[in-house]
Amino acid sequence: MKVVAQNRRARFDYEILETVEAGVVLSGQEAKSCRAGHVNLAGSYVSFTAGKPVLKKAKIAPYAFAGPLPDYDPEQDRPLLLKKNESGKLQSSAAEKGVSVVPLEVRAGKFIKVLLGVGRGCKTIDKRQRIKEREVGRKIREGREI
């Protein structure tokens, strides 16, 4: 499957504890738009309404070659397709303090899938440490002094 969109900010802001792949309920023109790569996961998250997972604030642009769509909302809530035990497991882990479920990437093949991550929020100190380690590694690879 081809990765068409990534939420790189989520991997920086959260320490990913576990990942789960879920299907998404889309209309035909949304699926075509996803395959074309017109998806933005920045700021999106997963919430549970009546025990069912829902992808919120994920932006899927209207398909360019579709006719006029008067009532189309690019940020509408989209139900996720998960097995009952996976959904219950995600809901129970999201109920913990400091843990949330965020979409990490969208994959397109025969079906459109979303990779969900159960993540615990990182503190600012952890983020600074990660940036520092990355800079040191870059300098070592380039052969410069630290």
Q: What is the chain's pLDDT, residue by residue, as a tens digit (146 residues)?
A: 889 999 988 888 888 899 999 999 998 889 999 999 999 999 999 999 988 999 999 999 998 888 887 888 888 999 999 999 999 999 998 888 889 999 999 999 899 999 999 998 877 787 888 889 889 999 888 887 66
Task: Please report, for the chain, the start and end positions of each structural domain, with discontinuous segments joined by +.
Answer: 2-142
Residue 115 has, within 13 A of its CA and on its CB side, a CA count of: 19
Give the H or E element holding residue 139: helix 124-142
pLDDT value, residue 145: 67
| C-beta atoms surrounding 115 within 10 Å | 19
Does the model's pTM come out above 0.85?
no
DSSP letters spanning the chain: -EEEEE-HHHHHHEEEEEEEEEEE---HHHHHHHHTT-EE-TT-EEEEETTEEEEES-EEPPPTTS---TT--TT--EEEE--HHHHHHHHHHHTSTTEEEEEEEEEESSSEEEEEEEEEEPPHHHHHHHHHHHHHHHHHHHT---
Q: What is the CATH number of domain 2-142?
A: 2.40.280.10
